Amino acid sequence: MPESLSVESHVEPHVESHVASPAPAREAAPAAPGRPRKGPWLRLLTYAAVSLGALVMLFPFLWTVITSITPEGSLAGGPTLFVENPTTAAYRTLLETLPMWRILLNSLWIAVVSTLLQLVTGSMAAYGFARLTFRGRNVVFALYLATLMVPMQVLVVPLFIEMTTLGLQDTYMALLAPSIASAFGVFLLKQAVEGVPRELDEAATIDGAGHLRIFATIVLPLIRPALATVAVFAFMGSWNSFLWPLVVIRSPEFMTLPLGLSTLQGQFTTEWDVVMAGSVFSIVPIAIVYLLAQRHIIAGVAHSGLK
């Protein structure tokens, strides 16, 4: 007993000393060197440079609107930002000269249908090139991308002969046929599909899903930013198309907006206020589409690997 008491008497103070002794304070880690903060003057200069660049980019659109409301708009005096007596006479003249509402509906219908067709064909082709394995896949994809280097001017005559042979000249189908598929859209969407983890496909395959269900329920929702980017580019390309409608369309009822605006320029004189009024009609739909899809465009370009 005395020996056990002596051992306990020696252990307890030792334990208490460990408990009571405060833990040594940790030394603060040296702060990692960060980027130097911009001074107020440098920040102000940055904002001023960005604002100046934005004004330079917006000036042509602003000048278009101002010229359209200028009485007897003329380009002889150079650009001006102040109008003494603004008027909408150019818009009334435009509506009286051209069947604008029919032309706008034609352009809108062609652009929307063409965009939807490019999204359907482009997304399906992108899934095939990215997920399916078949002989000669890389060669076919390379040949398909090579069509991007062929300008539209080279294809006008063969396409015109083809439309004439099929009896589609001067029809809506003639306007839509060349824009059913887009090599650029397939390339961009393929990059986006390759960014989707294959583990999701494998998990869906284990659950019994096929390629069509994987494509519709997994891949498409995950590449929505890229789809929005392709949609904006396809809509702009179809809306601004001029050469192909000029070649294949003869009847006024199938006329698109760029083709209709070209008729406003006379041989000797041109009413520039009316032309600018028509340009405003051409700019507004594209601006609306871009603003609606703005937040998806940057994400789509970034995720697809396009720089």
> What secondary structure, in 3-state letters, does 242-280 show?
CHHHHHHCCCHHHCCHHHHHHCCECCCCECHHHHHHHHH
CB atoms under 10 Å from CB of 128, counted, come to 18
Q: Which pLDDT does position 16 carry in this prediction?
A: 44
pLDDT digits (tens, 9 = 90+) for 176-205: 988 898 899 999 999 999 989 999 988 999
Q: What is the pTM of this model?
A: 0.75
Q: Which CATH superfamily is domain 100-280+287-303 in?
A: MetI-like (1.10.3720.10)
Return the pLDDT at 36. 55
Q: Above 90 in pLDDT, residue 74? A: no
Task: Give residue-wise pLDDT tens across range 241-283.
Answer: 999 999 999 888 899 999 988 888 765 567 788 888 888 988 8
Query: Quick one: pLDDT at residue 86?
Result: 81
d(CA 298, CA 288): 16
The residue-averaged pLDDT of 80-100 equals: 82
Residue 13's pLDDT is 46
pLDDT at 85 over 90: no
pLDDT recorded at residue 189: 92
Residue 131 sits at the vertex; the CA angle it makes with 128 and 136, to the nearest 5 degrees, is 65
Nearest-CA neighbor of 89 among 120, 115, 67, 122?
A: 67
Q: What is the mean pLDDT of residues 28-34?
A: 50
The string of pLDDT tens digits covering residues 112-140 is 999 999 999 999 999 999 998 889 889 99
**Alpha helices, DSSP H only, in 21-99?**
40-68, 89-97
Q: Residues 258, 242: contact at Cβ < 8 Å?
A: yes
pLDDT band at 78 (very low <50, low <70, confident <90, very high): low
What pLDDT does 31 receive?
A: 47
DSSP code of 171?
Answer: S
pLDDT at 15: 42
For the chain, give every domain's residue range: 100-280+287-303
The answer to which of 45-54, 68-77, 105-114, 136-145 has the lowest mean pLDDT is 68-77
Q: What pLDDT is stored for residue 151 in this prediction? A: 87
Q: What is the pLDDT of residue 81?
A: 67
Rounded average pLDDT over 54-73: 83
Residue % of the chain over a pLDDT of 90: 31
Distance CA 58, CA 214 (A): 43
Of 14 and 126, which is predicted with more confidence? 126
Look up residue 85 and give its DSSP letter.
S
Both tokens of residue 17? Answer: 């000393």
CA dist list (Å): 232 to 174, 269, 287, 289: 22, 35, 10, 7
- How far is the C-alpha of 117 from the C-alpha of 21, rounded, in Å? 76
Predicted local confidence at residue 73, as pLDDT: 60
- Nearest of 158, 146, 157, 220 to residue 184 by alpha carbon: 146
pLDDT for residue 107: 93
What's the confidence (pLDDT) of residue 143? 92
